[in-house]
Amino acid sequence: MKEKYNYINLKKYKLSLKWILPIFIIILILSFIGFRYIKTLTYKNIYTTISELGKQTVAQLNIAINEQKKFVETMVDSINRGYFKSESEIFDNFADDLENYHFTRLAILDKNGNGITSDGHTVTDYPITDEFFNFNNVYLSENRKSTISNDQINIYSKAFYLNGEERVLFATIYTEKYKEILLRRLYNGLGGTYLINNDGMVLIDSFDVIKENNVNLYDFIINKYNVTNDNKLTEINDMKENIRNKNTGTFDISLNNDTYFVHYENVGINNWYVISIVPASAMAEELNQFIAISLGVCIFINCIVIGICVYIDISNQMKNRKLYKAAYIDPITSLGNENYFKENSNVFLNSLKGNKYILTIDINKFKVMNSLYGYDFCNKLLNAFGEKLEKNMPKNNITCRMYSDVFATIFEYNKDIEQVLEKVNNAVSTIDVDNIKIHLSISIGVYKIKKEDKDINKILDKSYIARKQIKGTYNSYYYMFDQALENLLLKEENIETSMEEALKNREFKIIYQPKFSTSNEKIIGAESLVRWYRNDTIIMPDNFIPLFEKNKFILKLDLYIFEQVCKDLAYWKEKFNANLRVSVNVSKEHFVDENFIDEYVEIANKYNVDRKNLELELTESATIDKSIDLVKIANKIKSYGFSISLDDFGTGYSSLAMLQELPIDVIKIDKIFVDKADLNSKKNMINYIVLIAKQLGTEIVVEGVETKEQADFIKALKCDMIQGYYYSKPIEKESIEKYFIKDDKALI
């Protein structure tokens, strides 16, 4: 059902940022930590890759150099064994293998550096140091310039004897050749390798950026990237230091907006070092992958968590909305319910400046309609009625269905209020439901709210009280709460403040109204009736019982009266040996809990009174209340041995079927059926009522018999008992006792 009324402020679903934001921040922090973690992992991975590459390079270099050394060793071995007579024989023999080992030429020189080369050059005065003239091992020189071609070369040398004379064999290699052998470019040419000695002098540069000889790699890097930052200089110096100490290491350094991964590895020959350098940009793929993964994971987690938050948030709001609806919205009319009315009217009333009114409206004879048209139809009727009602009120209003067919509305109106009443009355006088035109009459209680009125319950009560005044006045559909009602309320308030005190002070007293047998006119019972002796006046029960029923004080009062009756019965039994059956009125307010009877049993036991002589009067009108199961309650009362009478019979709404189920001993026909003013016109009616009572097979008492004419009529109907002024008004306890003593009319 759609929400019709804007004053019921159902908020739109809205995300509450106040707790999504902190969660978002937490995720951000977690993502950052995750990002750092993945970055560390990736760096570690790159470190491993690059150091592996460095080690591989070193291994390849070692293999190649050792093979070259072995070749030189082999040559010298075979010369030493005397296989060759002359230099030319030697050169010829090994000419084919030179190429395989990347050598350019061989040379055989004497101690003074004079000799010839395998490609026909004559060498004179080549500076032969002791390192070259080594008979034990093959010596590998550092880079040096070739005296023949000016190229950078390295020389492998070993000394030997040729025909008894000392000679040295040189195998020369262009330094450049090392590149071919081993110094592959890394990462599609973006990474590369330097071969340096431990002073940092560059032997080979696979990047081909160093054109000059005798370049120091450290200085070269510092100059090329213009490194001035202390931290970076320290990093370079650390590498320098480590290399000098023959250590191996890996690090990364940021230069010119790129990060370079560097690995240095000791070759183990001539204090040479392999430096592998790869810029991060060369690893873009790996890094991009890393960034993509981290970003993806981050977004994914964010989406999931935010999704969950949104879901929880919305479903909470939905739940709240449902709860709100269940708590405050009347499902039949979509108007606010009584809770809504009571909780919101104060704020609303405070916002109004002019004349404020409350109306409570009910539909006359709605119960009859319910049984005539059925609940479904009548619910539709209520819905249409609520809608029309709300529409025809002054614009700014709160209109709610309070319960059943009772609606309440508050609003401001500064002209003649009768205009509003007339408009509403006209609007709802006919209502269309399922194309059936229903004619309605309503009763409106009106109260003009005063400034000092703060308690909405009291305000509501005043309009309810006003509405009740309409009953019976046929030509009026509304009643304005007036001074007379105000006075009545004041009196009630007065009673309420003094009732507890009155109970303590024993201001409530009992009088008894005897019941007489119609056959012999002897007293066979009495009804206890309460009176309130207040100051010097006697207050009659009609003036306070309804109020006590409303405020539940009746629960206490009834028990108090019952106890007094038990006391009197015990006294009469002892003093007069009298067994009078006394009836006590039990308000229907007790019936909300069937265990109320336990207290009655306890009191009867306390005074040792025979429960048969205690007759509990239940009013027939108790059956109106749907929540009361009178049959169950009566059965329970009966099970304890009390007698039961059904009071005010004929005025209630009980069905014959239900009456048949009730375990009653006595039926008390209400006094309206013997009204002396129009007894004749009611004779048929009372006949009928007595007939029903007789069918139920119980004793029958007729109440309110005031005249001989009434008494004769009742006697003729063969009812069992009469209770009325004709025989006796309600009398003091002492006056009852006179019947026992006189012993003429009392049935003892």
Using CA atoms, how far residue 123 sits from 126, 128, 160, 176, in Å, is 7, 12, 18, 23
Q: How far is the CB of 518 from Ca ion (least distance, A)?
A: 18
Q: Which does 587 bind (CB under 5 to 8 A by kind): ligand C2E, Ca ion, none?
A: ligand C2E
C-alpha 658/C-alpha 661 separation (Å) is 5
CB of 703 to ligand C2E, least distance (A): 6
Question: Between 87 and 647, whose beta carbon lies closer to ligand C2E?
Answer: 647
At its nearest, how many Å lie between Ca ion and the CB of residue 13?
A: 59
Which stretches of 342-497 are assigned E, i.e. beta strand?
356-363, 397-403, 406-412, 430-433, 436-439, 442-449, 478-480
- Could you tell which of ligand C2E, Ca ion, none binds residue 330, using a CB distance below 5 to 8 A set by kind? none
Query: Based on CB atoms, which residue is closest to Ca ion, 334 or 585?
Result: 585
Q: Show the tokens assigned to 68.
A: 């070259």
Q: From the CB of 529, what's the least distance to ligand C2E, in Å? A: 4
If DSSP codes are grouped into helix, strand and coil, which group holds residue 317? Answer: helix
Q: What pairing do the DSSP bridges indicate for beta strands 666-669 and 643-649?
A: parallel
Q: Starting at the edge strand that comes first in sequence, how are the strands of the sheet with 272-279 ordered?
A: 202-205, 192-197, 272-279, 258-266, 249-255
Nearest residue (CB) to Ca ion, 44 versus 729: 729
Bridge partners, residue 511, by sequence: 529
Contact present, 570 and 563 (Cβ < 8 Å): no
Distance in angstroms (rounded) separating the CA atoms of residues 447 and 80: 137
CB of 676 to ligand C2E, least distance (A): 9
Residue closer to ligand C2E by CB (options 443, 723) is: 723
Q: What are the backbone angles phi and psi of residue 580, rounded to the nearest 5°?
A: -75, 135
Cβ closest to Ca ion, residue 205 vs residue 617: 617
Nearer to ligand C2E, 412 or 615 (CB): 615
Q: Burial-class residue 373 by CB neighbours within 10 Å (0-12, 13-18, 19+).
A: middle
For residue 110, the surrounding DSSP H or E stretch is none
The residue whose two tokens read 């009836």 is 583
Residue 435 Rama label (left phi>0; alpha psi -120 to 50; beta): left
Which is closer to Ca ion, CB of 383 or CB of 513? 513
Work out what residue 541 binds among Ca ion, ligand C2E, none; the CB cut-off runs from 5 to 8 Å by kind: ligand C2E
CB-wise, 115 or 704, nearer to ligand C2E? 704
Minimum gap (Å) between residue 511 Cβ and ligand C2E: 8
- CB-based contact 623:658 (threshold 8 Å): yes
CB of 581 to ligand C2E, least distance (A): 16
Among residues 617 and 720, whose Cβ is nearest to Ca ion? Answer: 617
Please identify, using beta-carbon distances, which residue of 143 and 518 lies nearer to Ca ion. Answer: 518
Helix H or strand E encompassing 87: helix 87-100
Q: Least distance in Å: CB of 527 to ligand C2E?
A: 6
Four-point Cα dihedral 148, 149, 153, 154, nearest 10: -20
- In which residue are the tokens 């403040």 written? 497
Residue 272: name the closest of 217, 352, 234, 233 by CA: 217
540 binds, among Ca ion, ligand C2E, none (CB under 5 to 8 A by kind): ligand C2E
Q: Which is nearer to ligand C2E, 213 or 543 (CB)?
A: 543
Which listed option, Ca ion, ligand C2E, none, makes contact with residue 513 (CB within 5 to 8 Å by class)? ligand C2E
Which of Ca ion, ligand C2E, none has residue 558 at its interface (CB below 5 to 8 Å by kind)? Answer: ligand C2E
Tokens encoding 557: 């009062």
Phi, psi angles (nearest 5°) of residue 444: -120, 125
Task: Choose the contact partner of 128 out of Ca ion, ligand C2E, none; CB within 5 to 8 A by kind.
Answer: none
Rounded to the nearest whole angstrom, what is the least distance from the CB of residue 510 to ligand C2E in the complex?
7
For CA atoms 203, 205, 206, 212, the dihedral sign is negative
Cα(516)–Cα(701) distance, integer angstroms: 9
Residue 466 or 554: the one with the smaller Cβ distance to Ca ion is: 554
| Contacting residues for 658 by C-beta, under 8 A, at least 6 apart | 623, 630, 631
Q: Residues for the chain: how many in total? A: 748
- Residues in touch with Ca ion (CB under 5 A): 585, 617, 647-648
704 binds, among ligand C2E, Ca ion, none (CB under 5 to 8 A by kind): ligand C2E
Distance CA 537, CA 398 (A): 45
CA distances from 619 to 584, 600, 662, 698, 700 (A): 11, 17, 12, 16, 15
d(CA 379, CA 324): 22
We find the least distance from the C-beta atom of residue 384 to Ca ion, in angstroms, to be 41
CA distance 279 to 255: 9
- Report, in Å, the least distance between residue 646 CB and ligand C2E: 11
Least separation in angstroms between CB 647 and ligand C2E: 5
Q: Which residues contact ligand C2E (rule: CB under 6 A)? A: 513, 529-530, 540-542, 545, 554, 558, 561, 585, 587, 647-648, 671, 703-706, 723-725, 730
Residue indicated by tokens 């003093």: 575
Is the CB of 128 or the CB of 669 nearer to ligand C2E?
Answer: 669
DSSP tag of 11:
P
Cβ closest to ligand C2E, residue 41 vs residue 538: 538
CB 508, min distance to ligand C2E, A: 8
| Two structure tokens written together for 266 | 């000791």
Please list the residues that pair with 566 across neighbouring strands: none
Question: Long-range CB contacts (< 8 A, 24+ apart) of 252-258?
Answer: 252/43, 252/46, 252/47, 252/280, 255/221, 255/225, 255/227, 256/225
Quote the least distance from Cβ 615 to ligand C2E, whole Å.
Answer: 12
CB nearer to ligand C2E: pick between 204 and 584 = 584
- Cβ distance to ligand C2E smaller for residue 138 or 622: 622
As measured in angstroms, the least distance from the Cβ of 719 to ligand C2E is 15
Query: Which of Ca ion, ligand C2E, none is residue 362 near (CB under 5 to 8 Å by kind)?
Result: none
Closest distance to Ca ion from the beta carbon of 542 (Å): 12
Single-letter amino acid code for the residue at 160: F
Type of residue at 128: I
